[in-house]
Amino acid sequence: MSPSSAPSRHLTAERVLLALFLAVVGTMCAVSPYFRIAQNLLETMRYLVEPGIVALAMTMVIITGGIDLSVGSIVGLSAVFLGMAWKSWGLPVGAAVGVAIVAGALCGLVNGAMVVAFRIPPLIVTLATMAVFRGLATGLSHGTPVSGFPDSLKPLGQGYYAIGGGLRLPAQTLILVALAAFAWVFLSRTRHGRCIYAIGLNETAARYAALPVDRVKIAVYTLSGCLAGLASSVLVSRVATAKPDAGLGFELDVIAACVVGGVSISGGRGTIPGALLGLGIVGSLRRGLELTPSVRGPDIGIIIGLALVLAVFAHQVLAPALANTLSRRRTLRHAREEAS
């Protein structure tokens, strides 16, 4: 049975993740007077949008049993193409955003084609392309950032919506919400989504079942690159600069969020809501610690690392144990009802 057909198991796991997320937010509100400010909580969401967009596709890649270490470099290369298309090629900024997204998709297509055509492990392929894409970004830009973008780019990463009480919701949050809703429906409610799970559970069986394994793999890597290109556009809009080191370290945050969110690194299991909750746990913890005066920079990495270990333990050990306990209780209750 695929994870998508086991709602009770996912429900239990995601409840544990939700409890962990609320515990992290509550703890950060207690230790940091700045974090508990309502507008700051909304601003925290703003910084989670770019890695969140990338995490949606990374979830699908990992479910197939793959990995994409090049997403951070794709973000940087796509940002460079956005800057070049606007400044050097004279394209309107909207068209330049399209160039960035297409550039990211092509990078993802290269990854997928190499994984499928040469049967090279995705870890090796994307580790190599991570260096290649970052090198291309630096070489094409000569290490020079591009800034001075027109105001028409600002709504993508700097816009806000007033929601009352003096609070403002970052506009890019709606982009993540819309994409997450689409990804959730696609992965859990469509034939192609079930195919992704089937490949991760047993690729050989999926091939014997005549599923389009190679096409699906190429598609998920292409989607990963495409969403990395979109994330780069949001990032460039937010910081008002296109630079080759954009997205540096994204791959670590995104993969950590997915794994904490219950996406099995061996493939075949994971959900979009789980990945987003994992992202919220990691992002809220990092943001809260950064706003805590008594916590030094080096200590943040240690605390986050320990928290990630605990979160993975809770999801991989605590959640299945809780699910089994609930299942046994239901079985005993049904047995008593039948006996009576």
Residue 63 lies in a domain: yes
Closest CA to 180 of 6, 23, 51, 2: 51
Domain assignment present for residue 221? The answer is: yes
Domain for residue 37, yes or no? Answer: yes
Residue 2 has a pLDDT of: 44
Whichever domain contains 140, its CATH number is 1.10.3470
Inside any domain, residue 261? yes
Does the residue 339 lie in any domain? Answer: no
Domain-embedded: residue 338: no
Residue 159 lies in a domain: yes
Q: Which residues of the chain have pLDDT under 70?
A: 1-12, 311-312, 314-316
Query: What's the confidence (pLDDT) of residue 1?
Result: 43
Total domain count, the chain: 1
Contacts of residue 53, defined as CB under 8 A and 6 or more positions apart, other chains included, come to 175, 176, 179, 227, 228, 230, 231, 234
Does residue 99 fall inside a structural domain? yes
Q: What is the pLDDT of residue 15?
A: 81
Q: What is the CA radius of gyration of the chain?
A: 21
Q: Which amino acid is present at 316?
A: Q
Q: Residues 117, 121, 122, 125: is their CA dihedral positive or negative? A: negative
pLDDT of residue 119: 94
Q: What is the pLDDT of residues 231-267, one digit of tens each?
A: 999 999 999 999 999 999 889 889 888 988 888 888 9
Is the full-model pTM beyond 0.75?
yes
Whole-number pLDDT of residue 3: 46
Range of the domain at 256: 3-327
